[in-house]
Chains A and B, each alone.
Chain A
Amino acid sequence: MYKIANFMKMQSKRGGVNLLSAETVNQALIISLEGELDLHTAPPFRQCIDSYLAKNAVLKDLILRMDKTRFIDSSGLGVILGRYKLIQQRGGKLIFVACNPQVQRILKLSGMQKIAYFADSVKEALSLSTGRSNDGR
């Protein structure tokens, strides 16, 4: 079991289909997204991640828990790519956890598997986290 250092929940104001929660573990920021990630729900998602990254210079890796993410389109992918660029500057990794088959398919279509890692659990994602593994991707 990993230690939760920080925990927060955010709810988008309109079209309240999304519940975001964030945790930090060592150098990793873990975001859980329950609902659908599209043009409307991407801004609170972006704000949540950016505020964590701005406040914590130590954070390098972004772990996205996708087990409750029912939908993603190119607006959602664009925001994830933007966050990837931020953590890339810190030498961090982007790790997706437990994507459903449809979300996985869209991620593949976008070419996300070329830049990101995929894990079945948060535990596995943390083992891939920077400092623990160095396979040079």
Chain B
Amino acid sequence: MMDVKNWVRLEFPSESVNVLFARTAVAVFASQLDLTLEEIEDIKVAVSEAVSNCVIHAYRNTYGKIILECKYTQNELEISIEDFGCGIPDIVQAAEAGYTTIPEERMGLGLVFMHELMDHVNITSEVGKGTKVVMTKKSPQCRG
């Protein structure tokens, strides 16, 4: 990423209450860019999904570390959410709408929402080591 104008790095435990903290922190950081309210709300949902996944799936309700990094250039905002939990065996399957490992209470829409609400989502994962989600949203200067 060329010419980073500002960045932030946060580290917090996989407590469910931190899902609110993470999306609110990212929204405040993202408000430095000239984004619409709707775009900020989209980013909040995407961050909420990614951090919730760390809490529910990566650490399966045990405690672990989550690292959240945000940075922006003239052109785009990049958000990275990393955990050191169980990892995803099959990322393609995990990204399918309706796929969930907890069918009673979950719709299997977390990854679908991230892809839908952000411009680009990249997920890298290694079983037993962790998962990193990098999502970007283009800033208005760059939109056609």
Q: Count of A-B contacts with CB under 8 A?
A: 67
Residue of B nearest to A46 (CB): B105
A74/B41 in contact, CB under 8 A: no
- When distances are taken between beta carbons in the complex, the residues of chain A under 8 Å from B104 are 82
CB of B17 within 8 A of CB of A74, answer: no
Secondary structure at the B interface, as helix, strand, loop or mixed, is: helix
Q: Does A58 lie at the interface of the complex (its beta carbon under 8 Å from any beta carbon of B)?
A: no
9-residue interface stretch from B69-77, B109-117, B120-128, B129-137: B109-117
- Residues of B close to A21: CB separation below 8 A: none
Q: Is B82 an interface residue (CB 8 A)?
A: no
Q: Which of A34-60 contact B (CB under 8 A)?
A: 36, 38-40, 42, 46
Whether A79 sits at the interface, judged by CB under 8 Å, is: yes
Interface range on chain B (Cβ under 8 Å from partner): 20 to 34
- Beyond A15-B17, A39-B52, whether A73 also contacts B107 by CB under 8 A is no
Taking the closest CB of chain A, its distance from the CB of B111, in whole angstroms, is 9
**Contact status A74-B105, CB under 8 Å:** no
Does more than half of chain A's interface fall in helix, strand or loop, or is it mixed?
helix
- Contact check: which of B38, B105, B110 meets A79 at CB < 8 Å? B105
Binds A, one of B3-11, B42-50, B84-92: B42-50
Smallest Cβ distance from B106 to chain A, in angstroms? Answer: 4
Q: Are A17 and B116 within 8 A (Cβ)?
A: no
**A39-B52, A102-B38, A102-B41 as given contacts; A74 in contact with B19, CB under 8 Å:** no
The answer to whether A73 touches B38, judged by C-beta atoms less than 8 angstroms apart, is no
Confirm or deny: A26 has a beta carbon within 8 angstroms of a beta carbon on chain B.
Answer: no
For residue A43, which residue of chain B has the nearest CB?
A: B16
Contact of B107 among A15, A46, A110 (CB under 8 A): A110
Q: Which residues of B contact A39 (CB under 8 A)?
A: 16, 19, 48, 52, 55-56
A36 to B23, CA, bound (A): 11
User: Are B48 and A73 neighbours in the complex by a CB distance under 8 Å?
Assistant: yes
| Sample of 8 more A-B contacts, CB < 8 Å, known A39-B16, A73-B49, A109-B109 | A15-B20, A74-B107, A75-B19, A75-B56, A78-B109, A82-B105, A102-B38, A110-B109
Nearest 3 A/B pairs, CB to CB:
A40-B16, A78-B106, A74-B109
- A-B contacts, 15 of them at CB < 8 A, read A38-B48, A39-B48, A40-B16, A40-B20, A71-B48, A73-B48, A73-B49, A74-B49, A74-B106, A75-B52, A77-B109, A101-B38, A109-B109, A109-B113, A110-B109
